[in-house]
């Protein structure tokens, strides 16, 4: 099915034809130690920070439930016990990553490899100003926003077909990767096939899944889905969080005086 046919089916409510494009699940990566948010992350995972009155990971879970994503998995590691209540409250499933302390987040994808299908892949500290999740998705993508200023984020180049052709660290006047990714069945199967071949190599221990993608762009087709700046937020430091939620400013300032 070409994109125009997909759009027509969606607009006309022809969901039988869209069945192969229905999202099977969402996988939230929450195993890391969030060292950049110390000492806040010493007492609770970054995912449980309350932003604008809402716990970040609960906000994302509710957004996924709103669009009827049938299964939600959370990959846990550091302070894994903190996530247990979410099983009863929201019916999510926890997957333990036993390697979180010695490997990058590719290990969380490895831990979740048996449930990868038509899947959203999300960081646990993702904060979307509006619900950007869809129950039907046409192709694998990574969400992106545009920066006219210099940024240290992962910047991308796309081809005429909108597919990501290059990923580099840092740039200006460019699109960068931020927010959720979506993997369709074909992408999930191919990613896992490549990952299993290389996972035990010593150089793979420090790889994020995005870095692994970068080294296999010729085999893993992924589009860039563009969003306006400010719709998707990821807080990489306490200063960034304070700019968005001023209630954290007194806490930040207290750290500077101790």
Give the list of residues 6+ apart from residue 180 with CB closer than 8 angstroms, or none: 120, 121, 122, 126, 132, 133, 143, 232
- 62 phi and psi angles, rounded to 5 deg: -65, -40
68 within some domain = yes
Q: What pLDDT does 148 receive?
A: 92
161 within some domain = no
Q: What pLDDT does 41 receive?
A: 67
Kindly list the distances between the CA atom of residue 62 and the CA atoms of 53, 130, 246, 257, in Å, as whole numbers in the listed order: 14, 12, 24, 38
Q: Report the C-alpha gap between 22 and 16 in whole angstroms.
A: 10
22 within some domain = yes
157 within some domain = no
158 within some domain = no
107 within some domain = yes
The per-residue b/e assignment along 94-103, b for 16 or more CB within 10 angstroms, e otherwise, is: ebebebbeeb
Q: What pLDDT does 240 receive?
A: 87
128 within some domain = yes
CATH number at residue 97: 3.90.550.10
Q: How many domains does the chain have?
A: 1
Q: What pLDDT does 253 receive?
A: 74
Domain residue limits at 68: 18-139+175-200+227-256
Q: What pLDDT does 250 receive?
A: 83
Q: Report the C-alpha gap between 242 and 1 in whole angstroms.
A: 45
Could you read off the pLDDT tens digit of each residue along the chain, which spans 258 residues? 899 999 999 888 898 999 999 999 999 999 987 766 777 767 788 899 999 999 999 999 999 999 999 899 999 999 999 999 999 999 999 999 999 999 999 999 999 999 999 999 999 989 999 999 999 999 999 999 999 999 999 999 999 889 999 999 999 999 999 999 999 999 999 999 999 999 999 999 999 999 999 999 999 999 999 999 899 998 888 888 888 999 888 877 777 765
Q: Report the C-alpha gap between 232 and 234 in whole angstroms.
A: 7
Q: Report the C-alpha gap between 32 and 80 in whole angstroms.
A: 10
CB 75 within 8 A of CB 112: yes
Give the list of residues 6+ apart from residue 72 with CB closer than 8 angstroms, or none: 25, 26, 28, 61, 64, 65, 90, 91, 92, 93
168 within some domain = no
């Amino acid at each position: 099915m070409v994109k125009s046919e997909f759009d027509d089916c969606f607009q006309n409510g022809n969901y039988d034809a869209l069945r192969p494009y229905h999202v099977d699940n969402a996988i939230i990566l929450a195993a890391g130690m969030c060292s950049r948010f110390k000492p806040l992350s010493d007492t609770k995972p970054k995912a449980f920070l309350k932003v604008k009155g809402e716990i970040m990971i609960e906000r994302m879970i509710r957004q996924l439930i709103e669009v009827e994503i049938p299964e939600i998995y959370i990959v846990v590691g550091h302070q894994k016990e903190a996530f247990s209540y979410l099983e009863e409250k929201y019916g999510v499933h926890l997957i333990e990553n036993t390697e979180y302390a010695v490997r990058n987040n590719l290990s969380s994808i490895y831990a979740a490899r048996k449930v990868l299908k038509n899947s959203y892949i999300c960081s646990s500290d993702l904060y979307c100003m509006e619900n950007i999740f869809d129950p039907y998705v046409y192709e694998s993508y990574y969400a992106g926003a545009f920066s006219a200023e210099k940024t240290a984020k992962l910047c991308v180049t796309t081809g005429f077909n909108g597919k990501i052709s290059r990923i580099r660290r840092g740039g200006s006047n460019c699109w960068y990767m931020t927010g959720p990714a979506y993997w369709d069945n074909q992408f999930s199967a191919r990613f896992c096939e490549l990952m299993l071949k290389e996972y035990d190599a010593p150089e793979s221990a420090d790889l994020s899944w995005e870095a692994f993608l970068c080294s296999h762009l010729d085999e893993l087709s992924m589009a860039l889905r563009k969003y306006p700046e400010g719709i998707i937020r990821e807080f990489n430091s306490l200063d960034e969080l304070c700019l968005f939620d001023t209630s954290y400013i007194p806490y930040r300032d207290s750290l500077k005086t101790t």
